[in-house]
Amino acid sequence: MSQRPILVFDSGIGGLTVLRELRVAIPDRRFIYIADDAGFPYGDWEESALIERIVALFDGLIAEHRPQLAVIACNTASTLVLAHLRAAFDIPFVGTVPAIKPAAERSRSGLVSVLATPGTVKRDYTRGLITDFARDCEVNLVGSRRLAGLAEAHIRGERVGFDELETEISACFVQKEGRRTDIVVLACTHYPFLANTFRKIAPWPVDWLDPAEAIARHAAKVLPDIAPGLPEGFDRAVFTGGAPDYPTRRLMHGFGLSLGPGEGTASAWRALG
Ligand code: DGL
């Protein structure tokens, strides 16, 4: 019997930053990466339409792949649809939500910024995290319309200028009464791909908080201890928009993800079912 896979879901390539840590935490599992590139970017979607889209997508994904767990590796989706997915389907879901609690615990200056999509910034869920866990901090929500797209362009090998990125992140840096921002939460899974550049262009050093490792550890706890069957076959990626472009295919290959039956051996693909 082939092992039931773990689905890792994002609007694009951002969820790869979570997949990387999942593979460290639970190396004995098989992963299917789902990129809803036909819906990308999620940041500006109207909330009820996005809920409807993602629940409908999961209807098909769960019937087709019979996953043992789904990781929603997207803040914009998790802060909106997790409750709906849990109510609709009988598998565990692990979400990715802004790491406001650890940021508030670690900040020395009490000035924390959350860099996210406009969708994540406006969610009640995000405001609730601030009220529940960051009462003693000043939390500055910074919504960027362009950064997820710039991260995709950067990873595809296109030139993304420092000035473009500076414009998007400058609002994260606050100085007040002798204190200054010391933590910026990367509250979109695309942004860790740009973190090295953020470090270069930041007006002063801050901790860029990426919650991927914590999410992976949580997923390991939620899973049953014993994986049923061997993780036979390839990890693979599925794009809702059909065949992705060449740089994106190369990126997927770099992450050890196959994109179609033509890329594996026939027996491995039979095992994938
Ligand atoms: N990667 C997604 C997140 O974590 C958002 C990207 C998008 O704008 O679709 O929020």
> Are both 107 and 205 inside the same structural domain?
yes
**What confidence tens digit (pLDDT) does each residue in 197-241 have?**
999 999 999 999 999 999 999 999 999 776 666 666 789 999 999
What is the Cα Rg of the chain in Å?
19
Based on the fold, state whether residues 149 and 178 are members of the same structural domain: yes
In a domain, 1, yes or no: no
Say yes or no: 204 and 118 in one domain.
yes
Binding residues: 10-11, 42-43, 75-76, 189-190
* 219 and 87 fall within a common domain: yes
Do 105 and 205 lie in a common domain? Answer: yes
Distance CA 202, CA 200 (A): 6
Number of structural domains in the chain: 2
CATH number of the domain that 122 lies in? 3.40.50.1860
**Which whole-number Å values give the CA distances from 90 to 31, 63, 178, 263, in the listed order?**
19, 11, 51, 32
Centre of ligand 1 to C-alpha 89, Å, is 23
Q: What is the pLDDT of residues 68-95, one digit of tens each?
A: 999 999 999 999 999 999 999 999 999 9
Going from the Cα of 38 to the center of ligand 1, the distance in angstroms, rounded, reads 13
The one-character DSSP state at 257 is: -
183 and 230 fall within a common domain: no
Query: 234 in ligand 1 pocket by Cβ < 6 Å?
Result: no
Helix or strand holding residue 106 (H, E) = helix 100-106
Q: Which residues contact 1 (CB under 8 A, 6 or more apart)?
A: 228, 229
Sequence length of the chain is 273
Residue 14 Cβ inside 6 Å of ligand 1? The answer reads yes
- Contacts for 10 with CB less than 8 Å, ≥ 6 apart: 16, 18, 34, 35, 36, 72, 73, 74, 77, 189
**pLDDT tens sequence for the chain (273 residues):** 568 999 999 999 999 999 999 999 999 999 999 999 999 999 999 999 999 999 999 999 999 999 999 999 999 999 999 999 999 999 999 999 999 999 999 999 999 999 999 999 999 999 999 999 999 999 999 999 999 999 999 999 999 999 999 999 999 999 999 999 999 999 999 999 999 999 999 999 999 999 999 999 999 999 977 666 666 678 999 999 988 999 999 999 999 999 975 453 333 333 333
11 lines ligand 1 (CB under 6 A): yes
| Structural domain harbouring 74 | 6-96+213-272
Same domain, 60 and 92: yes
Instruction: Tell whether 54 is covered by a domain.
Output: yes
Which atom in ligand 1 lies closest to the alpha carbon of residue 14? 1
144 torsion bin: left (phi>0), alpha (psi -120 to 50), beta (else): beta
Same domain? 65 vs 110: no
User: Is residue 243 domain-resident?
Assistant: yes
Give domain status of residue 86, yes or no: yes
Contact assessment for residue 172 and residue 142, using Cβ atoms and an 8 Å cutoff: yes
Cα 6 to chain center, whole Å? 15
**Binding site feature residues for substrate:** 10-11, 42-43, 75-76, 189-190
Residues pairing with 9 in the sheet = 34, 72
